[in-house]
């Protein structure tokens, strides 16, 4: 793995709850947009694939209100830690698998992942 050449793995760098700027694919799978996203897979999935599962982050606050979505206010402690520039919604019902080289950079991290785990449980119907 390329990431292993320097003595670290990508998933060590991209832990669950890490907020990244990524080329996120649109639903047409032809176009994409640079946007924030949150790493949602476990830290050491160890699939041997150079990719991560991410949840889309949107500044469209009209998408709030579903239990699979988490609001982050930019001025809250959690919003500041996440590195977001606007009030935003994490959409665990809008996931994508992206290759590591599509991730531009880390912009922050979530303070805790309990809300993220709860939203993912709703998305996947897990108890």
Q: Give the pLDDT confidence of 14-64 residue by residue, as tens digits.
A: 899 999 999 998 888 788 899 999 999 988 887 888 899 999 999 999 999
What class has domain 2-124? mainly beta
The pLDDT assigned to 2 comes to: 43
> Could you give the CA distance from residue 117 to residue 55 in angstroms, rounded to a whole number?
12
6 within 8 A of 36, measured Cβ to Cβ: no
pLDDT tens for residues 68-123? 999 999 999 999 999 999 999 999 999 999 999 999 999 999 988 999 999 999 99
What does the domain layout of the chain look like in residue ranges?
2-124
- Inter-CA distances, 96 with 8, 57, 62, 117, Å: 24, 12, 21, 16
Concatenated DSSP letters for 71-105? EE-TTSHHHHHHT-SS-EEEEEEEEEEEEGGGEEE
pTM given for the model: 0.87
The pLDDT assigned to 11 comes to: 54
- Inter-CA distances, 41 with 65, 74, 94, Å: 23, 24, 14
34 within 8 A of 20, measured Cβ to Cβ: no
The pLDDT assigned to 19 comes to: 97
The pLDDT assigned to 45 comes to: 80
């Amino acid at each position: 793995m390329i990431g292993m050449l320097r003595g670290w793995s990508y998933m060590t760098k991209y832990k669950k709850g890490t907020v990244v700027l990524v080329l996120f694919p649109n639903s047409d799978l032809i176009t994409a947009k640079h946007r924030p996203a949150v790493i949602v897979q476990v830290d050491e999935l160890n699939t041997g694939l150079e990719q991560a599962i991410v949840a889309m982050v949107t500044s469209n606050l009209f998408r709030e209100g579903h239990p699979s979505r988490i609001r982050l206010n930019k001025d809250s402690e959690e919003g500041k830690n996440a590195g977001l520039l606007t009030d935003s919604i994490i959409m665990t019902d809008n996931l994508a698998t992206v290759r590591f080289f599509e991730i531009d950079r880390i912009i922050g991290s979530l303070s805790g992942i309990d809300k993220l785990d709860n939203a993912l449980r709703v998305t996947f119907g897990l108890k």
